[in-house]
Amino acid sequence: MAGRATRDSLSGVRELISAGNKAGAIAREHGLQFGMHNHWWEFEPLEGEQPIRLLHGLLHPDIFWQLDVYWAQTAGVDPADWLLELMPRIGSLHLKDGSAVHGGTMTALGRGKVDVPRILHALSRPVDWVIELDECATDPLDAAQQSRVYLESLRYDPSA
């Protein structure tokens, strides 16, 4: 939904908000939920504003966030800190790891720069976790399996 024109100006971000609110209304009419997924650009200042804050403030409260921790880290922000701000609307986490630089490759969780344990401990309630690798330096299925094993080794219980 977010092309370059959308993320290059505040008017484009407002168009994205409008489209998101329309999609959310359609989803609600059909008994479904609609969520937004971030990339790096939502955290980068645009015309003196941070798009993620505009989106968070102006999207309908029923629209949830799927925080992509890798892209937040790549934007230079702390994903755990952003969880605290977005938590009331967090529906799921997109978990991936790697170099956290534009154009860098991704790795199994626990093998890159993303502090997964710190992020998980920032959760105030259980949410869904999604393991994903956009571009992987190794076999993606093997990295996904390693990521699952890594998450299990943390023995983290968000409901505790």
31-65 pLDDT, tens per residue? 999 999 999 999 999 999 999 999 999 999 999 99
pLDDT in tens, 88-109: 999 999 999 999 999 998 999 9
Q: Give 150's pLDDT tier (boundaries 50, 70, 90).
A: very high
Q: Are strands 106-107 and 97-98 parallel, antiparallel or unpaired?
A: antiparallel
* Pair of tokens at residue 48: 């003196």
Report residue 52 as tokens. Answer: 């993620």
Fold of 4-154: TIM Barrel (3.20.20)
Phi, psi for 129 (deg, rounded to 5): -115, 135
Could you give the percent of the chain with pLDDT greater than 90? 83
pTM as predicted: 0.90
Q: What ranges make up the beta strands (E) of the chain?
A: 35-37, 64-68, 90-95, 97-98, 106-107, 128-131
For residue 155, pLDDT beyond 80: no
Nearest 5°: CA angle at 113, between 54 and 155? 95
| HSE value, Cβ hemisphere, 13 Å, CA-based, for 32 | 8
Burial of 3 per CB tally in 10 Å (0-12, 13-18, 19+): exposed
**Do residues 94 and 116 touch, judged by C-beta distance below 8 A?**
no
The pLDDT score that the predictor gives to residue 135 is 87
Q: Is the pLDDT of residue 156 over 70?
A: no
Task: Specify the higher pLDDT residue, 157 or 1.
Answer: 157
pLDDT digits (tens, 9 = 90+) for 105-137: 899 999 999 999 999 999 999 999 999 988 888
41 token code pair: 């650009």
| C-alpha of 40 from chain center | 9
For residue 119, the model assigns a pLDDT of 96
* Mean per-residue pLDDT of the chain: 92
Residue 4: band (very low, low, confident or very high) from pLDDT cuts 50, 70, 90? low
